[in-house]
């Protein structure tokens, strides 16, 4: 396969990245934020489902949810 050849979408996947504020700051006064990635999110899940899921997980910690990102990955091929 080379540039210009016909490409096929082989697989799609989603991940949620949950950013959690630790409630502490660094030496410059900037909030320290931890993050965790949850892989294997159903590609058919709605934005509301993912948002609610992330907030539910965040609620299981003593930290507050600072941000939520959804990352989508598409595998292209064939490569050979």
Residue 2 belongs to a domain: no
Residue 55 belongs to a domain: yes
Residue 25 belongs to a domain: yes
pLDDT of residue 1: 63
List all residues 6 or more positions away from 7 whose beta carbon is below 8 Å from its beta carbon.
Answer: 76, 77
Instruction: Give the residue numbers spanning the domain of 56.
Output: 8-75
Residue 34 belongs to a domain: yes
Residue 67 belongs to a domain: yes
Task: Pick the more confident residue, 79 or 20.
Answer: 20
Q: Does 71 score more than 90 pLDDT? A: yes
Residue 24 belongs to a domain: yes
pLDDT of residue 22: 95
Residue 33 belongs to a domain: yes
Residue 80 belongs to a domain: no
pLDDT of residue 79: 80
Structural domain total, the chain? 1
What is the mean pLDDT of the segment spanning 50-78? Answer: 95
């Amino acid at each position: 396969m080379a540039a210009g050849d016909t490409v096929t979408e082989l697989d799609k996947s989603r991940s949620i990245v949950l950013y959690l504020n630790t409630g502490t700051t660094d030496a410059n006064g900037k909030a320290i934020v931890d993050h965790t990635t949850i892989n294997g999110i159903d590609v058919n899940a709605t934005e509301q489902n993912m948002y609610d899921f992330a907030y539910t997980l965040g609620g299981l910690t003593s930290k507050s949810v600072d941000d939520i990102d959804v990352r989508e990955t598409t595998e292209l091929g064939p490569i050979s």
